[in-house]
Chain A
């Protein structure tokens, strides 16, 4: 089959459209990775961090989140699908009964929430979890 100029244009338009539709889902993945690396100094292994979040959040303006990691000195929370991935970082001390904390966060859309824990010995751990959001936070 011979490719005409018209076919080529149609193909290019199709590819562009497909690309545009897929883009918003994880537009900030590079930003997320950069934030993780800046905090952990590399990509941490998955596991060893407890990340409690609802499976479905009706209101993205206030989503309850709980994180815990035995022996962690600090835990950072990221939201992969927000305009900026940073959410907050907890710092634990010798006075902490355990390295566990809760807060409420904003999620703009259905997305992954990431928790990165830094341990006393310098190692790092990570957990990732999807939260479905019915009505997005931010904006308005």
Chain B
């Protein structure tokens, strides 16, 4: 299977108290558990990202519960307003327990 790679689009600089749009994408098949293997006719077991959390300086800024009806390579867009400079940490949790993460620094003036 292709390597699972998270990508986020975060502005490096922001103004305090103003809305900042965050875009995230992670390469993941989001196997729904409904699909059948064309050769064997057996169901392909479910394997999806079921949880996404964005924290800023350790505090939860946004989170999402995901079901199999979320498209492959889940895309999530949300917005935050920040009071101080810091690091935003993004975490995606897989059905198998693995956690994929990435961090971005934001300078707030």
Contact = CB atoms under 8 A, between A and B. Distances in A.
Contact of A88 (B34, B66, B72): B66
Nearest to A89: B65
A64 to B, nearest CB: 8
- Prevailing SS type, chain A contact patch: strand
A82 B69 contact: yes
Q: How large is the interface on A (under 10, 10 to 19, 20 to 34, 35 or more residues)?
A: 20 to 34
Size category, B interface: 20 to 34
A97 B80 CA distance: 4
Contacts of B68: 84, 106
A86 B50 CA distance: 12
B5 interface: no
A106 B69 contact: yes
Most buried by B among A84, A100, A104: A104
A100 B70 contact: no
B62 A95 contact: yes
Contact of B71 (A89, A97, A104): A104
B34 A102 contact: no
Which of B32, B67, B70, B72 is most buried by chain A, counting CB atoms within 10 A of its CB? B67
Interface in B43-69: 56, 59-69
A46 interface: no
A96 B61 contact: yes
Interface stretch (A8-16, A114-122, A132-140): A132-140
Contact of A89 (B19, B34, B64): B64
A84 B68 CA distance: 9
Given A93-B61, A140-B35, 15 more contacts: A62-B71, A87-B69, A88-B64, A88-B66, A90-B62, A91-B62, A92-B78, A93-B62, A95-B60, A95-B82, A98-B19, A103-B64, A103-B71, A106-B68, A138-B32
Contact of B61 (A79, A95, A107, A137): A95
A86 B63 CA distance: 16
Contact of A137 (B65, B71, B77): B71
B103 to A, nearest CB: 16
Contacts of A95: 56, 59-62, 80-82
